[in-house]
A and B are shown apart, each in its own frame.
Chain A
Amino acid sequence: MQMPVQKIRVVAGTPIVVGERRLLPSVLVTTMAGGDAGTGGLFRFVKARPVSLVVEEPEGARWLEIPNTTENILSQMAIAGAGIALLSVLLMGLFHLARKR
């Protein structure tokens, strides 16, 4: 059985033309694969997430980020949860020490 292999690459999409503007998208592709057909089983997982866009306009080219706002908010909430737990453990330890003295 092969160990799972993860590959991350940035792939450029087909340019989208809207009037005088040309949009060049780029996508982050994460692939995880494991197993082997010869040994009885395999799996594959693919995630494609758009990351940015280069806009070519008559005034010039500019780069636009495509934010994953929901995921960013959830990450901040997870960090806040971990912070609350850590602070509580520290405070409980301090209060325990203060009570012993």
Chain B
Amino acid sequence: MEELKALLEKIGSVGDEINVDAVFGKPETVGDRVLIPVAEITYGFGAGLGVGGPGGYPEEPGDEEVGESRERQEEHGEAAVGGGGGAGGRARPIAYIEVGPDGTKVEPIIDEQKIALAGILLSAWAIAWIAPTLMALFNALFAPRE
């Protein structure tokens, strides 16, 4: 149990030591220009553990804490310990830095697929709002008054 807690604490401190240089890629020379890719980096993880069984969590408020209920453990057996975790990460290019004879400039990289999907969603959203508005307008103009 203590080893698992120590492992979780160790994993939890990983995020404090992020290397910001990972955001900027390795400079590449193309002709007389140098290109440096720039990315947004996201990562996350979660982990958990639990204790169950007869010697595990206290059954009633006021019972002894986990691991200290020796009497119950002796009576019912050892508690079961289980844990799990997951992690994920993503690097998304957002721009590139171009260093050439005519100076240094930043060129953005646009995610066209994401914008196209958002555009379709926005169109559907607009239609869903404009249609009842037009119906309300026609009702106000042409429907018999109450």
The distance in angstroms between the C-alpha atoms of A19 and B139, with both chains bound, is 70
B30 within 8 A of A: no
Picked from B11, B94, B139, the residue with its CB within 8 Å of the CB of A70 is B94
Q: Return the chain A residue nearest B9 by Cβ.
A: A37
Residues of B bordering A, CB below 8 Å: 5-6, 8-9, 11-12, 14-16, 18, 20-24, 27, 34, 36, 38-50, 94-95, 97, 99, 103-106, 108-111, 114-115, 118-119, 122, 125-126, 129-130, 132-133, 136-137, 139-140, 143, 145-146
A64 interface contact, C-beta 8 A: yes
Q: Which of A42-81 contact B (CB under 8 A)?
A: 42-50, 53, 55, 57, 64-70, 73-74, 77, 80-81
Are the C-beta atoms of B99 and A19 separated by less than 8 Å? yes
* Cα distance A49–B22 in the bound complex, in angstroms: 10
Given A84-B126, A85-B129, CB of A45 within 8 Å of CB of B136: no
Q: In the bound complex, how far is the Cα of B45 from the Cα of A11, in angstroms? A: 22
Interface of B is mostly: mixed
Sample 5 A-B pairs with CB under 8 A, ordered by A number.
A21-B104, A35-B48, A37-B6, A70-B114, A84-B125
Task: Tell me whether A64 and B104 are in contact in the complex, defined as CB-CB below 8 angstroms, given that A37-B5, A50-B23 are known contacts.
Answer: yes
A32 to chain B, nearest CB (A): 8
Tell me whether B44 and A13 are in contact (CB under 8 A). Answer: no
Q: Select which of A16, A43, A74, A95 is within 8 A of B136 by beta carbon.
A: A95
- Is there an interface contact between B130 and A88, defined as CB atoms closer than 8 Å? yes
Q: How far is the CB of A82 from chain B (nearest CB, A)?
A: 10
Q: Tell which of B15, B27, B95 touches A16, judged by Cβ atoms closer than 8 Å.
A: B27
Per CB-CB distance, the 6 closest pairs between chain A and chain B, nearest first, are A41-B48, A37-B8, A43-B46, A45-B44, A69-B108, A88-B129
Contacts A37-B8, A81-B126; A46 near B44 (Cβ below 8 A)? yes
**Are B46 and A41 touching (Cβ within 8 A)?**
yes
Are B118 and A91 neighbours in the complex by a CB distance under 8 Å? no
B114 and A37 form a contact (CB under 8 A): no
Point out the residues of chain B lying under 8 angstroms from A91, CB to CB. Answer: 133, 136-137
Known: A40-B48, A99-B139. A13 touches B21 (CB 8 A): yes
B104→A16 contact, CB < 8 A: no
Q: Are B23 and A27 interface neighbours, CB within 8 A?
A: yes
